[in-house]
Chains A and B, each alone.
Chain A
Amino acid sequence: MASDPRGGEGVSPAGEPQPGDIPLPAPGPETLPNISESVAAEASVKDKRLHPSSILFLLLSGVKSLILPGLFVLFAARGGSRYEAWIMIFIIPYTFGAIFRYLTYRYAFHDAELVIRKGVLFRNQRHIPYSRIHNIGSVQNPLHRMLRVAEVRVETAGGQEPEASLKVLSVEALEEMRQRIRRAKAALPAAAAEADDAAAMAEEELPGRVLLAMSPGDLVLHGLIDNRGMLVVGAFLGLLWQFDLLDRLGFDPRQLWAQAQDAGTMRAVAVAISLLVTLVVAIRLLSIVWSVVKLWGYRLQKVGRELRSRGGLLTQVSTTVPLHRIQVLTLREKILHRLFGRLEVSADTAGGSSEESGGSGRQNLAPLISRESLPDFLAEVEPGVDLENTEWQRIDPRATTRLLRRGLFVTLPPSAALVYFVSPWTLLATVPILALVVVDAFRESIRRGYACTDDRVFYRSGWWSRRISLARYSKIQAVSLTESPFDRRWQMRDLQIDTAGAGSSLQRLHIRYLPAERARELMDFLAARAAETKFRW
């Protein structure tokens, strides 16, 4: 069974073939007995199919990809109804495709792996060892929920895409899959899953502990702080722009502005300000709506050594993140967060990206959590982390000067140009900005720092919008020092700690402006600590 040579051929290019197919004893030895006892094992190796409603969903997702081109065609040729007929023709192959996919898609639970087969002409058999599975995520939109089914994603490390995407399974089948994989993992020899892990899996039927449950009030706050409104507006404006709807609606800002100006300067300013305020408020409101829809009823549970989250008003998304898969944990505290005494906790996982994580394997574990409950939360998620008593090492104090110069270099020339060419009144705006640059340089260089504990490295930055990232030494993949000509003049270095599945540059462990010697020491130290620990995805 584990021997189909076509296995992942060309199918999981992004998948992770490397991390030692050798050390995993499970597939090999377990496979052989299974063939001889295939009759006995029959029950557990029975092929399963997707839920019949899969046809519908496959069809819908096919149609969805036609919608945009379809709309385009419609807009391009208004009046001609034959184009709609043409679109209908495109749906036919999709229908056949959907039925075909449903009929040929099978999955089966073997002893040590999940086996998925699909296709008839181009057959494809994929073996996913249970021990490699990071996450069994599921997505349910309202239609899914009406039919009691879910879209299931089985994710392993490394890949951008889920290793397997089962569209769709009944809720019961999903639960069965979760349990089977959990049990199988627990039963696996300790080589595959580490011993305490297996133990945890076994004891795991206990009800989980709720680490975080977001109330509607929290959601409103989250929307207020986490400004996603811009995203919505941006998408909306893009759409308007795309179809020239602005012109069609007769909306022309220049015209509005001209009208206002005719009415006098004060009026013009008043109009501009009120427009701006309306826009800002509208964006925040949209953001709140977005949060409520996206995160309705969000709760994070710790079950055994896994974190499970679930939430969403229309489309329910659930994820499972084993604790030891967390590569980097990031706490973020924007200025609004601080105003309300909240912060945000996210984790980089090496797994495939889930939809709401926006690309990288970043999971927002706690979209919003209060300061008071943070220590308890951390104790469950990253035991041993004590942020209160962390001894932060500052970066090079001379960083102040560099930050200051950089800030002034960017802001001074435009300010001067404004004052000189436009009006001395612009000083009213530029002076506070310049003052802010100065304050920022001082505060920032004091705030930035790193810390090394027994098993983790920490980095914090930002005095206005704060963040702290932390990673276990065992998750460090590579350490590098970079040196620009400026760094060289100042005898400073940037230290970069590379981890799997690292997200945006805002949450990477990049420590800038370290004194050269200390940077080198730190690199050697981190590399040594990393080398003496084993990395398990």
Chain B
Amino acid sequence: MLNPMDEIGSDPLESPPAAPSPSAPPPPPLPAAAGEGSSTALPAGLQKLDPRWISMRRVFGWIRVAVYLVLWIIATLILTLSGPAPWILVTVVGAGALWVVLMAVQAHLWPALSWRRAAYRLSERDLEIRRGVLWREVVTVPRSRVQHTDVSQGPIERSFGLGTLLIHTAGTDHSRIGLPGLAHDTASVIRDHLVEVDEDDGV
């Protein structure tokens, strides 16, 4: 399940059909470079997300785990004070502890897994976004269908220098497609690029 050595290139979603896919062997091109100075260069080919996204997601995950932990402590205290049969105490507290530990493991491992799976590709014609670990998805939005785009940045994202690109279409399921984990500069560049086309095209 966690087929660890998987790189994007071996992604079955990517797989053989049209040979043209410029990404048969994974060209995981320098997300780090895209991060800092390259604000004008438009990323070409299949791109991975900024690795800082992993750390950011871990921060989110640890915050969640901290909340669970506090809840667990409170629950344990209440339960202990109300004095139930020992086996109930042990079972409930143990299950809670196990849950917290599992969440902690998930909080640490999952971001890396989903980073490995996530990618995007910007071409003249469209924007392709891949995401998901167990349930995977590839979305293609033709650039002429982009209604407008936003770049959003939450406080934690800001501290990591990341941003989320939101693409709005006239569609139903995909009326709003998010591409998180971009260096904020890259997100802005892509946004400008998409908007450019929008003007040419006139709906």
Q: A18-B147, A521-B18 are in contact. Are A535 and B203 (CB under 8 A)?
A: yes
Asked if B12 CB lies within 8 Å of chain A CBs, one says yes
Q: Report the bound CA distance from A471 to B139 in whole Å.
A: 18
Q: A484-B135, A521-B17, A531-B144 are in contact. Are A20 and B203 (CB under 8 A)?
A: yes
Closest to B199 in A: A22
- Residues facing B in A1-45 (CB within 8 A) are 16, 18-20, 22-23
Q: Report the bound CA distance from A292 to B90 in whole Å.
A: 66
Interface residue tally of chain B, by bracket? 35 or more
Q: Report the bound CA distance from A23 to B170 in whole Å.
A: 16
The 0/1 profile, CB within 8 Å of B marked 1, for residues 479-517 of chain A is 111111100100101001011111000001000000011
Out of B17, B144, B148, B169, which one reaches A498, CB within 8 Å? B169
- The answer to whether B125 and A517 have CB atoms under 8 Å apart is no
Q: Report the bound CA distance from A243 to B168 in whole Å.
A: 46
Interface residue tally of chain A, by bracket? 35 or more
- The answer to whether B140 and A535 have CB atoms under 8 Å apart is no
Q: Report the bound CA distance from A23 to B147 in whole Å.
A: 12
- The answer to whether A485 and B173 have CB atoms under 8 Å apart is no
Closest to A493 in B: B13
Out of B12, B169, B201, which one reaches A477, CB within 8 Å? B169
Q: Report the bound CA distance from A519 to B29 in whole Å.
A: 26
- Within 8 Å CB of B135, what residues of A? 482-485
- The answer to whether A535 and B174 have CB atoms under 8 Å apart is no
Report the minimal beta-carbon distance from B91 to chain A, rounded to whole angstroms: 29
Asked if A164 CB lies within 8 Å of chain B CBs, one says no
Asked if A307 CB lies within 8 Å of chain B CBs, one says no
Closest to A523 in B: B140
The 0/1 profile, CB within 8 Å of A marked 1, for residues 159-175 of chain B is 00000000011111110
- The answer to whether A483 and B16 have CB atoms under 8 Å apart is no
Closest to A518 in B: B17
- Within 8 Å CB of A517, what residues of B? 15-17
Closest to A481 in B: B138
Work out how many contacts link A and B, with CB atoms closer than 8 A. Answer: 130
Q: A477-B169, A517-B16 are in contact. Are A485 and B140 (CB under 8 A)?
A: no
Closest to B198 in A: A20
- The answer to whether A18 and B174 have CB atoms under 8 Å apart is no
Q: A19-B147, A477-B141, A530-B145 are in contact. Are A485 and B171 (CB under 8 A)?
A: no
- Within 8 Å CB of B139, what residues of A? 478-480
Asked if B78 CB lies within 8 Å of chain A CBs, one says no
Report the minimal beta-carbon distance from B82 to chain A, rounded to whole angstroms: 39
- Within 8 Å CB of B203, what residues of A? 19-20, 23, 534-537
- The answer to whether B136 and A480 have CB atoms under 8 Å apart is no
Asked if A336 CB lies within 8 Å of chain B CBs, one says no
Asked if B134 CB lies within 8 Å of chain A CBs, one says yes
Asked if B137 CB lies within 8 Å of chain A CBs, one says yes
- Within 8 Å CB of A533, what residues of B? 144
Chain A interfacial positions (CB closer than 8 Å to B): 16, 18-20, 22-23, 157-158, 350, 476-485, 488, 491, 493, 496, 498-502, 508, 516-518, 520-521, 523-524, 527-528, 530-531, 533-537
Chain B interfacial positions (CB closer than 8 Å to A): 1, 12-18, 125-126, 132, 134-145, 147-148, 168-174, 177, 198-199, 201-203
Given contacts A478-B139, A499-B171, A499-B172, 17 further A-B contacts (CB under 8 A): A19-B147, A22-B202, A157-B170, A350-B170, A478-B141, A480-B139, A482-B132, A482-B135, A483-B12, A483-B13, A483-B136, A485-B135, A488-B12, A493-B13, A498-B173, A508-B172, A528-B125
